[in-house]
Amino acid sequence: MNRITCMIVEDEPHAMQLLEDHIGKTALLDLRSCCYDAGEALAFLATNKVDVIFLDINMPLLSGLEMAAMIAPDQKIIFTTAYSDYALDSFEFHVIDYLLKPVTFRRFMQAVSKLRASLPAPAGEGSVVAEPAPEETSADHMFVKSGRQLHKIQFSEIRYIEAMKEYLRIDTGKEKVLVYKRMKEMALLLPASFVRVHNSYIVNMNHVSSADAASVTVAGTVLPVSAGYRDGFMTRIRHYLV
């Protein structure tokens, strides 16, 4: 899975921290820069490129709208502001979404879904080195190292993944494989059917039998859903509602 590179341009420290937290919970996003004013952001963009900018409209000296007029016209932008007055003005740019502060994680994830839909599907990019990537993206399995052995694990068989200090335990129903890896690193290897519900748990939605705001049952095992991941998890649950 190719990560979406992004940057935040925001002059309010609290709003900046909130967006950083939301991005940190979203494995799809790769935060490249945090800038507290448009001048700093323009200097960064002069030598760097990102897929999307989370851009505050109300900033001193140079507003987000003024900055947007100074960058590439095809640059994707998600505007953020405490006021709705600028919504119409902002849509003359390549705007993916418009977020009102304080930005909830659920609303943030809706914007990320729109962003993902606006991007071309990953494909070979003309580089010989990059050619294996499409095969990896469509793979139905992964290899993990446990002890001295390499284990081939089918994604469809994984029920959930549990963090255990420096290790992860992968539960497939048939076995529990202990792997030396961090949750964030593992999340990047997993397909879209997996969602993080807690600092210590990632679950496979295909094995979820029931859920509420506080817990999720995966193949008979009840796991906690923490407040920090609840909105994102419940948003995913709603996708399956009929």
The per-residue pLDDT for range 159-173, each reduced to its tens digit, is: 999 998 889 999 999
| Residue 215 CB neighbours (<10 A) | 13
pLDDT per position as a tens digit, 81-112 = 886 554 444 445 678 888 888 899 988 998 99
Shared domain for 11 and 108, answered yes or no, is yes
Residue 123 in domain = no
Shared domain for 18 and 108, answered yes or no, is yes
Query: Is residue 7's pLDDT more than 90?
Result: yes
CATH number of the domain to which 26 belongs: 3.40.50.2300
Residue 139 in domain = yes
Residue 207 in domain = yes
Q: How far, in Å, are 135, 196, 233 from residue 224 at the CA level?
A: 34, 11, 12
Residue 127 in domain = no
Shared domain for 105 and 40, answered yes or no, is yes
Cβ–Cβ under 8 Å, residues 163 and 187: no
pLDDT of residue 142: 85
> Of 89, 118, 147, which marks where a domain is finished?
118
CATH number of the domain to which 214 belongs: 2.40.50.1020
Q: Into how many domains does the chain fold?
A: 2
Residue span of the structural domain in which 31 resides: 4-118
Shared domain for 36 and 70, answered yes or no, is yes
Separation CA 175–CA 169 (nearest Å): 10
pLDDT band at 215 (very low <50, low <70, confident <90, very high): very high
Shared domain for 113 and 10, answered yes or no, is yes
Query: Is residue 210's pLDDT more than 80?
Result: yes
Shared domain for 11 and 114, answered yes or no, is yes
pLDDT per position as a tens digit, 107-154 = 899 899 889 888 876 554 433 333 333 333 346 888 888 877 888 999
Residue 128 in domain = no
Query: Is residue 71's pLDDT more than 80?
Result: yes
Residue 125 in domain = no
Residue 218 in domain = yes
- In the numeric block, the tokens 């979406």 are attached to 4
Shared domain for 34 and 92, answered yes or no, is yes
Q: What is the mean pLDDT of the chain?
A: 84
Shared domain for 111 and 137, answered yes or no, is no
Residue 126 in domain = no
pLDDT of residue 82: 80
pLDDT of residue 122: 54
Separation CA 41–CA 48 (nearest Å): 10
Shared domain for 111 and 8, answered yes or no, is yes
Query: Is residue 1's pLDDT more than 60?
Result: no
Q: What is the pTM of this model?
A: 0.52
Query: Is residue 11's pLDDT more than 70?
Result: yes
